[in-house]
Amino acid sequence: MNLDKSTKRIAKKVKNGFQGYPQITLAYFGESENCATQVVVSFILEAGAVAQEEKFSSVGDVRKDETIQTTLVKVIERAEAKTVIEVAGVAIIK
């Protein structure tokens, strides 16, 4: 799957808003606001459940990494996530 298709599929799920559980949250981290070198995927099966997390890293921007974006789509599909939340912006890590 190409990068453009992956990002559009993720954006479409995010745009739907809260649809129930399971829920996946995507949070981007990096050394600057312009380059996210890490994405943390949090999975919550049901209300009140503890979140399970998985991290993906890249030397470049993970938002422009075709392999990582395709993997995120696969994670969302396999988890049968009804809700996908994307944290706005890039959190700075030092």
Look-up: residue for tokens 């949250």?
Answer: 25
pLDDT, one tens digit per residue, over 43-93 is 999 999 999 999 999 999 999 999 999 999 999 999 999 999 999 999 998
Angstrom distance (rounded) from CA 41 to CA 5 = 19
φ, ψ for residue 70, nearest 5 deg: -65, -40
Q: pLDDT tens-digit profile of 14-42?
A: 999 999 999 999 999 999 999 999 999 99
- Which residue is it, tokens 């600057």? 32
Residue 61 · residue 37 · CB < 8 Å: yes
CA gap 45, 20 in Å, rounded: 10
AA identity, residue 80:
E
